[in-house]
Amino acid sequence: MGIYRSNRWLVRHVDVKVLRGQLVYIIGANGAGKTTTAKALLGLIPTDEGEIRRGPALKVGYVPQRLHINPTLPLTMRRLLRLTERYKNTEIDHAITAVGLQRLGNPFVSTLSGGEFQRLLLAQAMLSRPDLLLLDEPAQGVDAAGADKLHNIIDRIRIELGCGVLCISHDLQLAMDTGDDFLVLIPHEHDEMDST
């Protein structure tokens, strides 16, 4: 799979496969094309080479790298979880507990810390019971201990849902230690290709 924009290949020869129950990482430095790859896999941007194959009726839970919520919006944690679908209270409770946010009660989303907000997005992705969780740097801005906990949470969710997880990260060691497979993207690797 390749994506060509503004006269260059942002990513090329990306070959990644996630089976049900697997944890696969995409690793790479800033600008290597990780988010671009994720968006292409989701079908949010078209590919210029190769193809994306999805299982029939594949349901994907996507946690984007950046999500801005208007801080003046009086939106509570539970309300956010219900924005897209009317889940039952028991389902909401379960998801909040699964990501370890149950102690907080029902705070305004704007008051959550960065790490808590990431967990809330994970709870939201989990509620739709996806076949594949696509997480774009879930541990971004989270300290080392917090990142450890977060990856444990992701692992428990994967086991509970039996879903595949494609996790974008900068942590090669983590990918090698815990992943079923990983793909490393190199920034600007393709810049010199096809010139001349």
Ligand X SMILES: Nc1ncnc2c1ncn2[C@@H]1O[C@H](COP(=O)(O)OP(=O)(O)OP(=O)(O)O)[C@@H](O)[C@H]1O
Q: Does position 31 bind ligand X by CB under 6 A?
A: yes
| 3-state SS assignment for residue 141 | coil
Which residue among 12, 24, 35, 101 contacts Mg ion (CB under 5 A)?
Answer: 35
The strand ranges marked E within the chain are 3-5, 8-11, 23-28, 60-63, 132-136, 164-169, 181-185
Q: Are strands 132-136 and 3-5 parallel, antiparallel or unpaired?
A: unpaired
**Is 169 among the residues that bind ligand X (CB under 6 A)?**
no
Closest CA to 142 of 117, 120, 165: 117
Q: 17 and 51 in contact (C-beta within 8 Å)?
A: no
Asked if 10 touches ligand X (CB under 6 A), the answer is: yes
Binding to Mg ion, residues 121-160 (CB under 5 A): none
Angle at 150 between CA 100 and CA 99, to 5 degrees: 25
Residue type for 158, please? R
Of 4-12, 73-81, 90-98, 157-165: span binding ligand X (CB under 6 A): 4-12
Among 18, 23, 27, 33, binds ligand X (CB under 6 A): 33
Q: Which of 23, 27, 36, 116 binds ligand X (CB under 6 A)?
A: 36
* Residue closest to 96 by CA, chosen among 136, 124, 69: 124
Residues in 40-79 that interact with ligand X by CB under 6 A: 65
- Smallest distance from ligand X to CB 59, Å: 23
Using the rule CB under 6 A, which residue among 12, 18, 27, 34 binds ligand X?
34
Q: Does 7 bind ligand X (CB under 6 A)?
A: no
Give me the residues that bind Mg ion (CB under 5 A), please.
34-35, 65
Give me the residues that bind ligand X (CB under 6 A), please.
5-6, 10, 28, 30-36, 65
